Amino acid sequence: MDKSNNTISKNNQLINLTPTEFELIKFLMENENQPISRDQLLDHVWGQSFVGDLKIVDVNIRRIRKKIEDCPSDPQFLKTYWGIGYIWKR
């Protein structure tokens, strides 16, 4: 992750992320190995006054996994922490 350019690369190849996707993954990476709830992600990325479908987090996580994981259905980095939310594992 290059925070100064808001970019992420994998295997020396730049991954195209939307600003929202980047902010989500950045927050998760900054809290590596700590489970982060959907509500925490909503508050951090969309703001506490967000009104809309809470599944927006899940949709963005799925999109990120498709971009960064070798096998999105069996993620190695961006894992679901059942009953809590999501966790970044290196």
Whichever domain contains 80, its CATH number is 1.10.10.10
Cα Dmax for the chain: 38
Number of domains in the chain: 1
Structure confidence by residue, pLDDT tens digits, 6-53: 888 888 899 999 999 999 999 999 999 999 999 999 999 998 888 888
Q: Examine residue 2 and state whether it is found in any structural domain, yes or no.
A: no
Residue 48's CB is within 10 A of a number of other CB atoms, namely 8
Going by C-beta distance under 8 Å and a sequence separation of 6 or more, which residues neighbour residue 41?
Answer: 24, 27, 28, 57, 85, 86
Q: What is the DSSP letter of 42?
A: I
pTM metric for this prediction: 0.88
> Which range of residues forms the domain containing residue 44?
8-88
